Structure formats: C-alpha cells, structure tokens
A and B are shown apart, each in its own frame.
Chain A
Amino acid sequence: MSPTWAGLAQVGLLLLALAVVYKPLGDYMARVFTSARHLRLEKAVYRVGRVDPDSEQHWKTYAASVLAFSFVSVVLLYLIQRLQHLLPFDFGRTASPGVAFNTAISFVTNTNWQSYVPETTMGHAVQMLGLTVQNFVSAAVGLAVAMALVRGFVRAKTDRLGNFWVDLTRGTVRVLLPLAFVFAIVLIALGVVQSLKSGVDVTNPDGSVSRIALAPAASQEAIKELGTNGGGIFNANSAHPFENPSSWTNLIEIFLLTVIPVCLTRTFGVLVGNKRQGTVLLTVMGVLWGGMLTVIWWAESHPNGPLALLAGGAMEGKEVRFGIAGSALFANATTSTSTGAVNSMHDSFSGLGGGGTLLNMMFGELSPGGVGSGLYSMLVVAIIAMFLAGLMVGRTPEYLGKKLGKREVTCAAVAILAMPTVLLLGTGAALLMPDTAGALNNPGAHGFSEVLYAYTSASNNNGSAFAGITVTNDWFQSTLGLCMAFGRFVPITAVLCLAGSLAVQRKVPETAGTLPTTGPLFATMLVGTVVLVAALTFIPALALGPIAEALA
C-alpha cells in the first residue's frame, strides 16, 4: 500500500465511521437536549447544586450562569494547580503562578494551550481533578451554548432558552462521559497507558538506564479528543507513543475529535425540523475540511524548503507510524476543530502546510469546529451570509424563519469580531515587545509565524502551537490567557444574546420569496463567506508569514 493509498484509506475509513454514527448520535443528542426526564444521577447533581432543573432561563440568566460557572472553574483550577503539593500523585511537580493562570484559562476555555511541560509540571492529581474535569465541562459548556442558540431558532415568542445547568449536566453525563469511558478502554487495548505511576525504569539493550514517563493517559486522551480539548498529558501530545501508539489509535483519535461537531449538524437538523438544514451545514464544513486537507496533505507530501529537500521528505516533526498522510489528516482535523492536540509538530510543516493549519483556525474553527462552538460559529457566519443574501433577493433578511434585524446582526457581528480583534492586537502588541525576538525558535518569516500562530491558536481556543516559541514569560502567559478568555466568552455571550432575540421573534412562514437554505447555492454562499471574511481579515498577516514562506 503506497503512502497515498494508505492516506486515502484512512480518510475513507474516517468518513465511513462518521457516516455510520451520524444519524444515531445526532438523533441521540437531539433527544438528550429535549427530553423532559432527568436521570437519577442528574437529579443528584441538581440537588447538590440546589437548582430547579425544570425552570428555564432568560438569555441573560443563561449567559450569567455560563460566565459564573466558567469563572468559578478558573479559580478552582488555579487553586488546584497552586496547591498541588497538598494532593497525592504530585511527584514534586509545581506550577508557577503564570503557568497556573494561563493553564486555568486555557482549559476552562476549551483551548488547552500548554505553556508547560506536563511531565515536570502537572502531577496526576492535577491532571485528573483539574484538567480532565475541564476537558468534560468546557466541552459541555460549548454544547449547552449551541443548544441554546438552536432553541432560539426553534422557539417562538418566548424569552426562555432552557436551563444551563441542565444542559451542562446532560452534556457531561449523557453524551461525553459514556463515550469517553468506552473509548478510553479501547485506547488502552491498543496501547495507550493508564498508570498512576510517574514512570518506569528500564535498562536499555545497550546497558544504559532510562526512566520512561507514565501517566493516566487513556482516560484523559479519550475526553481530550472527544471534547475537542487537546491538552496532552505528555509534552509531545498525541505524537507521544503512549498517547497515540499506532496508526489505528491515530484514526480513532481523529474520529473522536470530529465526531461530536459533525453529528451536531444532524442534531441541529432534527431540532429545527428540517434535517436538510443540518446536512447543508455539514456539507459546508466538509467542503472546507476537505479543501484544507488537500492543501496541507499536498504541501507536506511535496517537499518544499531547504530542510525537506535536503532530507528527502517532510519528516521533521512527524512520526513514522503516522507518515505524511496520517500527520496531515490529524493536523487538519485538530485545527479545523478547536482541539489543538497534535500528532506532529506544526512548527516544522512547510510554509503552505503550516499556513493551512493557521487558516483553518482563522476561518473561526467551524469545519466542523469545536464541540458546540463549531455549530454556533457556523450559524453566526450563516446569519451574516444570509443577511447579505437576503438583501440581494429583496427582502428583510431571514434565516430559518427568523428575521435578521439590527439586534441579530449586532450580536453576530460582535461574535465574529471578537476573534480577529484579540488575534490581531495580540500579535501586533507581542511583536512590539523587546523580548519576543528572543522567544522564537526560528528566524525570519517563520519566526513571525510562530507568534501569529500562538495568538491565532489562543484567540480561537485551539491550543495547538508552532511550539518552538517559548511562551513562559509573563507577557505571553497573560496576553495569551486574555486572548483565550475574550476569544471564548465574548462570542458565547453574543451568541446567547442572539439566541434570546431570535427566541422572542415569531416565525416567518416560508414562501417562494424565502431564500432556501438547503441547496447548493446557500452552501456556496456560506463557504464563500467563511473564506472571504478570513482571507480579507488575515491576508496581510499571512503574507508576512506563511505566504512569504510558501513562495520562497
């Protein structure tokens, strides 16, 4: 099997697996978030939390709950890291205040950017009690917000969007937890470690002695991919053989990190009562995903740049068991979702390949995007696209029977504006800092790309990196932390406000004058909007980094 055929087989199997679960998982999630029944376990959660699961919230209360929960999460996670020495399994590891602050925001915002080396910074207790928990609940928050937005479209003449605590709990208990548990076991069977030891000593065949690091990796790995989180329990992340031991686990992990965002389009279609509305979003995501995969894969398998030309192939920063195709597939999947796990070092990608991963994030991570965040990001872009399209057919724009007026456009604009704002300002400001040049691992345009990638990743809550950059100084720790927080919570608040203003509207009936949002025309328009907005916003920055590299 040639590498190309092996790659195509991987893509084919991935798509097949996604196709198989699309309907059942999508329908299941639709039931989870509409069911009137509470599980016994959930009732216990509500009792302890002293919340009434049958009361529904106004969008402001919903947003306040999201923000309050996330704030509490940041505080608790910070404390867990700082008080690590009081916990078991700490192995003498400590996190500095800068690391703890950055990491707390990073994991609560579903970014999972890591400015630390896990093997020496985070003990197993922090990993389990702090980071794994946020892997679950930050994904569940994204899911909850997406469901609130969908309710905005589905409901009419109400100011209630559901109950955040219920959505959070159900997402965790009914969706993430069972899937993560099953796949954690599957991963262990395929070689992923799940150990409470810090490491194991071995005497190598040549007589030398090594200590191989161990960790409870499988339980973290499963939810890290499933929740599009991406924070590795080992420094090399999903490139580490203990996190991702074979081409099969590689494929499973790619499947896990795409499955929920993909199936949510089905959930969406079911909930709005027209499954084709979901299919068309999936098509748009698929076109962007496939297009970018082609770019990245092609770029990596056609040696470009002095290093790859000299070596005879772009294997720098890649693992043999994944090869070029398995690495490109993972890189594309991780940056087009908000995962940020890596099985190869994006910093060593070619200009075009690395630029592709950057552009994936700059699209706003919606192909298919993070758990929940992919769907709501795509819907926000759809609103902008439908606004223009609606004007072009001569009507007050509407989408899914809801008019897009001043308030809806404002909310969508704020949601879209947040990411480029912090991304561009963060990058620009960082470049003005005298220490920045010294933090880079590469000279020239690629060094610039490292800074750009860092802020792109943080602002989009991705978490992957051109990891050569050293981001441990206070400037990076704090500004990247702020980028993550703004990049997450400004859009979430805007999306909930949008949901609120959609829900109070009555539904506009569909007529021949209504622009259908299920056909190829709408899909084309949506793809065009995503690409054009990202291109126009980021072309100048890209020109100085990846474009300059790729054309060199």
Chain B
Amino acid sequence: MTTTVTRTPEEETRRHVEHAGRVGAGVFSPGQLVSSLPGALRKLGPRHQARNPVMFVVWVGSLLATVLAIGDPGVFSIGTALWLWFTVLFASLAEAVAEGRGKAQAETLRRTKKDTVARRLRADGSQERVPGADLRIGDLVVVEAGDVIPGDGDVVEGIATVDESAITGESAPVIRESGGDRSAVTGGTTVLSDRIVVKISARPGESFVDRMIALVEGAQRQKTPNEIALTILLSTLTIIFLLAVVALQPMAAFAGSRQSVIVLTALLVCLIPTTIGALLSAIGIAGMDRLVQRNVLATSGRAVEAAGDVSTLLLDKTGTITFGNRRATELIPVGQSTVQDLARAARLSSLADGTPEGRSIVELCATEHGLPASPSEHERGGEFVEFSAQTRMSGVDLDGTSVRKGAASAVTAWAGQDVLPEVDEIVERISSEGGTPLVVAEGTVIRGVVRLSDVVKPGMRERFGELRAMGIRTVMITGDNPLTAKAIAGQAGVDDFLAEAKPEDKMALIKKEQEGGRLVAMTGDGTNDAPALAQADVGVAMNTGTMAAKEAGNMVDLDSNPTKLIEIVEIGKQLLITRGALTTFSIANDLAKYFAILPAMFAGIHPQLGRLDIMALHSPSSAILSAVIFNALIIVALIPLALRGVRYRPADARSLLRRNLLIYGLGGIVTPFVGIWLIDLLVRLIPGM
C-alpha cells in the first residue's frame, strides 16, 4: 500500500527546480492575446454569453447602445457603443486565452492517440488484429516490444518496461508487471521490452488520455460549488445595480434632467461587476492549467477547490516524508573490531552493490569514516555476490577475503559462528526502533552491525510548519510499529501519525476526520488504497499506481511524487484567493466610477454636484466614456493576474486577508481614480468630446 518511488536527494532537488521552471514558463505573454482573438470572437454569440449573467447584461447593453448609436450617431454614442463591445470582447478573450493554453497541452496528448492496431487474444489463445477503437472492456491484448499499448488496462501476464513519456513527460522508462501495484498501463504509451498481456479496462473514447484531453481543453468544465456561489453573489450585485439604474431614470426625470438611455447603459455596465464577471471562467481554467503544468490532472474543478479547503493531509511515510529507501545511519562494531574495521568491511561489501541501501553504506563510510567513495582499480577486480532470497546476504570475494553483509542469522551462519549475545542485543534494539540491522562479517569475524533507517527528507519540517500555519494538520501513515513511527513523526514534525496502518485503518481515520467536519487529502497508488482514495475529499493517485487507484482518486500525479500534495493544496487556495481578490477589486472600483459619472449626469440640474467631480474630468461625455474605457481595459490588464493567480504565501488567515484587502480592496478603490483620470487626458483630445 505504500508508494514505491525511489529517488535520490539529487533527483528530488532537480525535479523541484524543473517544476519551478515549468511554472515560470506558464506565464502569460501578450502574443497570446492576438492568437486567441479568433476564439474570442466566436464566443460573442448570445448563447455563449448567456452562460455568464454579468457579461450577458453587458452584451445586451452593447446591443442596445449600438442600436441607439445608429439611430443617433455621434462621437460619444458611437464611442460608448464601441467600448461596450470591447468589454464583451475582452471578457471572451480572457476565456479564450485561458483555454488556448490548455489546447496546446491537449494537442500533445492527442498525438499519442494514433490509430493503433491491437492484437486481441481469442478465447482459444490465437490472436486477431483489430483496430484499437474496437476494443471493449475485458478484451485481452498482447503487446510486445515496440508496440503502442492500444488502450487503458491492467497487465495480467508478463513484465515489461514501458515508455510513458508521452503522458508524463518523463523519459525514464517504467516497469509494468502483472499483479501488484504496478499493473496499470495507459493507452498510447509504448512497450520498450518484453511482452505483456493487457486486460482492457476502458471503453474507446473514455480512456485516460481522452479524459485528460477533455479536461485540459476545458470542454467538460463545470462550474465548481464556490464558483456557483460566487456567480449567485455577482448576479445579485448585477440585479441591485440594474434596479438602481432603472430607478434612476424616473428620479432624474423628476429632478428635471432625463438621461439618455446610452448614458444609463454606460453607468450600468460600469457598476456591475464586469471585471470579475469577465475573468471568472478564465480563473477557473487557469487554476486547472496550473495543476497541469505541475503534471497533476484533476478530474474536476471541484477537486481543485476542495484541495484549498483541506484541513488534514494524510501522508505516507515512505517516499513522501522519508526517502523511499532506508539508508545507513550508524555503524556499531562488536567484539574486538573497531569502527574503522567495520567501516572498511562494510564498504567493501557494498562497493559493487547498486541498491540504494548499498550505496548509502558506501556514502556513510566516505563521509563519516574518511574512506574513498569509489572503488580503486584493485577493488574492481573483486567478485560480487548478489543478494538472493535464499542466501539473504550479499558481498564481495577479493584476494581471498570474503566479506558479507545481510540478515543476522544468515551472516552468522555463513561465518560459521554461534550467535553472539552482543550482536543479538544490537540487532534486537535496532529492529525495535524501526531500523534494519545488517550484520557484516569478514571471513569468520563478525565485524559489527550497520543500522539502516529511515531518513526524513530535507525541508519537510519547514513544510509542515507552513501547513500548520495554514491550518492544515498532517498525519503520517506508516506500516512501522508505533515506536518507530513516533520517532520519525517527531523528526519530521508532523502533527500526528498512524502506525501499523492497514488499509482499513486509513479508511477509518479518513472517516473519523470527515465526521469532525474536516476535509482530507491523501495520496495512494495501490489497489487497496482505492477505497480510501475514493473516500478522501482529495485523493491523489500516483501515475505509477494501479488503474483502480487512478479511477478512485480525483487527481492523478503524473510524476508520482506524493510530496506534491502540498503544492496541490496551495494551488487550490490560490484559485479561491484569486476569485475573492478580483471580486473585491471589481466592487471597490465602483466608487470612482460614481465620482466620474454622477456629476457628469447631474451637474446640469444640480450644479453643486459638480463638486463630486474630484478627478476634474474634461466634460460629461469624456467622463462617462473614460469610465467605460477604464472598465474595459482593466479586464485586459488583469488577464495575466487571472491566469497566474494572485501571489500566495503560506500564512495564517488573518494576515492573508489583511494583505489581500489592502491590495485589492484599497487598491480597487484608488486604481480607477487614477486610471479614469489618465484615460480622460487622452479622450479629451478626441474632437467632439
């Protein structure tokens, strides 16, 4: 049930750097505006606009203004109508740009969907050639080296190396074998060696790749719960402003200054929350896109939002909190041997041992005991004895000296010794602390014991501290005994741990947390993780995992890096913050627009209202047009922010709110005063203004 990622610290660092780079590369470039223009124009139809209540009002307003401008052409009426259309266009543009970035991703994926020919196994064991599209669930297909796997499925026979770079971008081949947690294969990936039989588990057109394409293209995008709630709020504001403007006409008429419909339309469009209304869907698409850039696929936007809400993270110890493999951490000599004797023997026994454990022993001997890290010419001549399940030890024969390391009983027996009480005691102690003891013997002499233990990845403590500040509790899941688990939990700084965890325990823990109203996120890859992945609010399946796990979770990490859960949470939060911040900004903008438009409308009848014109705008027409232009341009200006998301730094809720209120609330009040004033400086140059 634990993940099986094996990476060295260097690999880990490299990957993080890569991620940072990839996210950086995702930023917006002005060229995208131009390339997305055709797509934006296609969105101008009423059916598309009606899906967004705020922009639909603008759309109707633009139409109305156009009709009025045609009926009574003038610089002001035509200018206003034109800029109202720009407002609608810019909103569509924002959506088109966001979608465009997904499209590029989809294009790459689609290339993997070449028409494949499958070799289907008949019941009698013979093969028939059928097009990949004809495969049905349950069909068995044979795939050999060089073949493209025709559909999603599970390996039921054989073992093979598979190139999954088309999906994951990772060039290193992965191993897929029948049974266990590495049985899932994805259609479109290529088998590099050996032969496997795959049982198809997805209908054509519904495969993993198909779903990925649909997701990144945003075709299946449904509004998320928070987005719906926000849309309701924005619609409410729109209705309020609609009422305020509709009721204003009789008030104005009563006061003796009936307003033209085009001016009222301009006022309405300026007041309703067009900024957030225009960017709302772009923000949602971009949120998914940011996940995709980190090689995470979410099956729904809802899952991304839920990630922002998570209050409990279940993290597997191995591979997530600690390095995937145990590492040598201590050398304990026994009998007459010195530490140096033990180090020499241990190093020698591991020189040719390519396993991570073996390498970690050489490293320990090099760093702690000053022995050379790489074998000398002479040492290369030794004969390496591989580990086997029968011998339960490995080692080297060199110049007549034999060195072995391995399980205590096996090595002791090999050395022809009785079990020393001293060794027994040490082995016992290390085991009870959750470590793995390796006994090292040189010839007939038992040199000592090497302690292999879990090592917490660097930076985890700080990471968990940040999560705690965000209000997220971390729970470490491990199969270790409670004593070991506690020790590692303490080192890593997690809030809690679940030791000797069986899948049922994990499930029970999730249910218990949810019962208390907490949202739970977890990672998993095994088939026995599937129920828990399904139960968790955010279940991130590793791409290396089984198809069952991938089906059960609501996200798949193509890099199969469980630590990424933390980034996913941050992306979820960033998505919500961006929406909230831009809504606040949008509403705060209205104040300045009133100061621009109301004096323009009513200074004629109540000259004292001219005192509200604190921006000293050129004329009533230029004031109104400037406000409309600002309202349209601010959408374009904020597209990069909508796509990138507002800056998110892990912090407690209070400081986050204070910061965002200051920037987007106060900034939202001030910005349009400056913006409208500047635009007016240009607009006044237009003849007739």
A32 within 8 A of B: no
Asked whether, in the complex, the Cβ of B587 is within 8 Å of the Cβ of A448, the reply is: no
**Chain B binder among A23-31, A119-127, A309-317, A425-433:** A425-433
Indicate the member of B473, B575, B608 with the most A CB atoms within 10 Å. B608
Residues of A within 8 A of B608 (CB): 548, 551-552
**B657 interfacial by beta-carbon distance below 8 Å:** yes
The segment from A243-251, A289-297, A539-547 found at the interface with B is A539-547
* In contact, A428 and B249 (Cβ under 8 angstroms): yes
Interface residues in B233-252 (C-beta closer than 8 Å to A): 233, 235-236, 239-241, 243-252
Chain B positions 643 through 660: 1 when the CB is less than 8 Å from some CB of chain A, otherwise 0? 000001000111011101
Q: Given A535-B591, A540-B245, A544-B602, is A431 in contact with B225 using a C-beta cutoff of 8 Å?
A: no
Q: Does A511 contact B (CB under 8 A)?
A: yes
Q: Which of A395, A421, A532, A551 contacts B243 (CB 8 A)?
A: A421
CB-nearest residue of chain B to A410: B232
Determine if A391 and B577 form an interchain contact, defined as CB atoms under 8 angstroms apart. Answer: yes
**Cα distance A547–B594 when bound, in Å?**
13
- Check B606 for interface membership: any CB of A closer than 8 A: yes
A83 interface hit (Cβ, 8 Å): no
CA distance A340 to B606 in the complex (A): 30
Chain B, residue nearest A536 (CB): B590
The answer to whether A405 touches B229 (Cβ under 8 A) is yes
Question: Taking A409-B229, A425-B243 as contacts, is the C-beta distance between A390 and B271 under 8 angstroms?
Answer: no
Chain A residues with Cβ below 8 Å from B654 are 515-516, 519, 521
Q: Which residues of B contact A519 (CB under 8 A)?
A: 654
Interface centre among A413, A436, A445, A535 (most CB of B within 10 A): A413
Does residue A241 face the partner (Cβ distance < 8 Å to B)?
no
With A and B bound together, what is the CA distance between A532 and B586 in angstroms?
12
CB A469 to nearest CB in B, in angstroms, measures 13
Judge whether B584 is part of the interface by a CB distance below 8 angstroms: yes
Q: Which residue of A lies closest to B573 (CB)?
A: A394
* Complex Cα spacing A539 to B595, Å: 10
Q: Residue on A with the closest CB to B664? A: A392
Q: How far is the CA of A228 from the CA of B517 in the complex (A)?
A: 39
Whether B675 sits at the interface, judged by CB under 8 Å, is no
A273: Cβ under 8 A from any B Cβ? no
A391 B576 Cβ-Cβ under 8 A = yes
Chain B, residue nearest A392 (CB) = B580
> Per a CB cutoff under 8 Å, which of A404, A424, A514 touches B246?
A424
Q: Which B residues between 208 and 244 are near A, CB-CB below 8 angstroms?
A: 225-226, 228-230, 232-233, 235-236, 239-241, 243-244
CB-nearest residue of chain A to B574: A394
Please determine whether A431 and B251 come into contact, CB atoms closer than 8 angstroms.
Answer: yes
Write out, one digit per residue, whether chain A residues 293-306 have a CB within 8 A of any chain B CB (1) or not (0): 00000000000000
With A390-B580, A396-B576, A516-B654: A409-B251 Cβ-Cβ less than 8 Å: no
User: Does A388 lie at the interface of the complex (its beta carbon under 8 Å from any beta carbon of B)?
Assistant: yes
Scoring A425, A543, A551 by chain B CB atoms within 10 A of each residue's CB, the highest score goes to A543
Interface presence of B472 (CB below 8 A): yes
Are B517's CB and A512's CB within 8 A?
Answer: no
Closest to B223 in A: A406
- A388/B229 in contact, CB under 8 A: no
Residue of B nearest to A430 (CB): B250
| Nearest opposing residue in chain A for B472, CB measure | A513
What are the residues of chain A within 8 A of B54 when measuring CB–CB?
none
Q: Identify A396's interface contact among B240, B308, B469, B648, CB under 8 A.
A: B308
Q: Given A509-B518, A512-B652, A541-B248 in contact, is the A395-B598 Cβ separation under 8 Å?
A: no
- What size tier do the contact residues of chain B reach? 35 or more
**Any chain B CB within 8 A of the CB of A528?**
yes
A508 within 8 A of B: yes
Given contacts A424-B244, A541-B244, contact A395 B250 (CB under 8 A): no
Question: A539 — which chain B residues lie within 8 A by C-beta?
Answer: 594, 598
How distant is the Cα of A513 from the Cα of B245 in the complex, in angstroms? 40
In the bound complex, do residue B656 and residue A511 qualify as a contact, i.e. CB atoms below 8 Å apart?
A: no
Task: Please report the total number of A residues contacting B with Cβ < 8 Å.
Answer: 64
Q: Do the beta carbons of B225 and A512 come within 8 Å of each other?
A: no
Q: Least Cβ distance of B232 to chain A in Å?
A: 5
A window 391-449: CB within 8 A of B: 391-397, 401, 404-406, 408-410, 413, 416-417, 420-421, 424-425, 427-429, 431-432, 436-437, 445, 448
From residue A448, how far is it (CB to closest CB) to chain B in Å? 6
Alpha-carbon separation in the docked complex, A448 to B254 (Å): 8
Does residue B470 face the partner (Cβ distance < 8 Å to A)?
A: yes
Known: A428-B246, A428-B251, A540-B244. A393 touches B472 (CB 8 A): no
Q: Does A210 contact B (CB under 8 A)?
A: no
Q: Contacts A387-B233, A543-B602 given: A512-B247 contact, CB under 8 Å? A: no
Main SS class of interface, A = helix
Name the distance in Å between A504's Cβ and chain B's nearest Cβ.
Answer: 13
Q: Are A409 and B232 also in contact (CB < 8 A) when A391-B576, A396-B305 are?
A: yes
**A392 partner, pick from B233, B244, B572, B657, beta carbons under 8 A:** B657
A509 and B311 form a contact (CB under 8 A): yes
Q: How far is the CA of A393 from the CA of B598 in the complex (A)?
A: 34
In the complex, the answer to whether B591 meets A536 with C-beta atoms within 8 Å is: yes
- Give the CA-CA distance A408 to B580 in the complex, in Å: 17
Does A538 touch B at the CB level, under 8 Å? yes
**Given the complex, which residues of B lie within 8 Å of A401, measured CB to CB?**
517
Q: Is residue B579 contacting chain A, with contact meaning CB distance below 8 A?
A: yes
Residues of the B chain whose Cβ atoms lie less than 8 Å from the Cβ of A429: 250
B517 — which chain A residues lie within 8 A by C-beta? Answer: 401, 506-509
State A420–B236 Cα separation when bound (angstroms).
Answer: 11
A541 to B656, CA, bound (A): 36
* Contact across chains for B653 and A516 when beta carbons are under 8 A apart: yes
Would you call A420 and B243 a contact (CB within 8 A)? yes
User: Is A287 among interface residues, defined by CB-CB distance under 8 A?
Assistant: no
In the assembled complex, the CB of A157 is this many whole angstroms from the nearest CB of chain B, namely: 10
Q: Mark A72-91, 1 if CB is under 8 A from B, else 0.
A: 00000000000000000000
Is there an interface contact between B587 and A543, defined as CB atoms closer than 8 Å? no
Contact of A388 among B469, B470, B584, B611 (CB under 8 A): B584
Q: Is the CB–CB distance between B247 and A395 below 8 Å?
A: no
Set B230, B245, B515: member contacting A391, Cβ < 8 A: B230
Taken together as a complex, chains A and B put the C-alpha atoms of A128 and B232 apart, in Å, by: 45
- In the complex, the answer to whether A548 meets B606 with C-beta atoms within 8 Å is yes
B247-281 vs A, Cβ < 8 Å mask (1 yes, 0 no)? 11111111100000000000100010000000000
Task: Return chain B residues, CB-CB under 8 Å to A389.
Answer: 580, 657
Contact assessment for B469 and A395 in the assembled complex, using a CB-CB cutoff below 8 Å: no
Whether A252 sits at the interface, judged by CB under 8 Å, is no
Name the interface residues of B661-681: CB closer than 8 Å to any CB of A: 661, 664-665
In the complex the two chains form, is B577's CB within 8 Å of A392's CB? yes
The verdict on A4 contacting chain B, using a C-beta distance below 8 Å, is no
Determine the chain A residues whose CB is within 8 A of the CB of B609 once the complex forms.
543, 547-548, 551
Q: Which of A416, A432, A536 has the most CB of B within 10 A?
A: A536
Q: Does A495 contact B (CB under 8 A)?
A: no
- Per the 8 Å Cβ criterion, residues 544-595 of B in contact with A are 572-577, 579-581, 583-584, 587-588, 590-591, 594
A537 to B590 CA separation, bound complex (whole angstroms): 10
Instruction: Determine whether A384 belongs to the interface, using a CB cutoff of 8 Å to chain B.
Output: yes
Kindly list the 5 A-B residue pairs having the minimum CB-CB distance in the complex, ordered from nearest: A513-B471, A391-B580, A394-B573, A511-B471, A428-B247
Given A392-B580, A392-B656, A392-B660: 5 more A-B contacts, CB < 8 Å: A424-B243, A432-B250, A507-B517, A515-B657, A540-B248
> Can you list 17 A-B contacts (CB < 8 A)?
A389-B657, A391-B230, A391-B580, A391-B583, A394-B576, A395-B576, A409-B229, A410-B229, A413-B236, A424-B247, A431-B251, A431-B253, A508-B311, A513-B470, A532-B588, A535-B591, A543-B602
Residues of A within 8 A of B (CB): 384, 387-397, 401, 404-406, 408-410, 413, 416-417, 420-421, 424-425, 427-429, 431-432, 436-437, 445, 448, 452, 506-509, 511-516, 519, 521, 525, 528, 532, 535-541, 543-544, 547-548, 551-552
